[in-house]
Amino acid sequence: MKLIEQVSRLLFVIGITLLIMSVLYPAGLSGGESVDPGNYEGEFFLVTDAVYLQTTSREGNYTFSLYILDSDDVVQVLESGTMDGIEPLYALEEIMEYEGWLQFPEPGIYGLIVTHSHNESVIIWIHGIALPRFSLIYAGLVLSLPMLVIVTGNILQGKWLARKKMKKHK
């Protein structure tokens, strides 16, 4: 019984850790890849509220353009290779860096498109409000379950034993 309790305690600690990580795990993405001049590089990200965007060229002295689009428009741009007919939510054109909050009309999947005229890497950080990671929540609950069963059993057994002792004393 001691081994089962020790394993259950370990699983419980791992489970609680996963539950905490499901909320605290950082929501964000970064990129630092080179984009060929005139081409588009895209990345999807999940938004629940406003996000904080930080971006700069790796060397800091070349301009680039950054567009925030809904997911359908990102796919269209990447397939067609052109922004013709696309109305971005945000268009930051010919910038060397940007830092600020971006508001979105509703939660969902959005995309970021980067293009520039130099063969230069662009570094992008998007910091959002962390969404619960449901896969971590489920794993945490499953791993915590054996210990919760043991604790519940011990509590119920303790109450049962206490009642039994009280009846003996009467």
DSSP labels, 80-136? HS--TT---SEEEEEESEEEEEE--SSSEEEEEEEEESSS-BEEEEEEEPPPP-HHH
Please give the Cα distance from 134 to 51 (Å, whole number): 21
Q: Write down the pLDDT at residue 127.
A: 65
Residues 6 or more apart whose CB falls under 8 angstroms from that of 132 comprise 22, 23
In the CATH scheme, what is the code of domain 26-128?
2.60.120.380
Domain borders along the chain are 2-22+135-169, 26-128
pLDDT, tens only, 92-113: 888 888 888 888 888 888 888 8
pTM of this prediction exceeds 0.75:
no
Q: Which stretches of the chain score pLDDT less than 70?
A: 1, 22-39, 58-60, 117-123, 125-133, 159-170
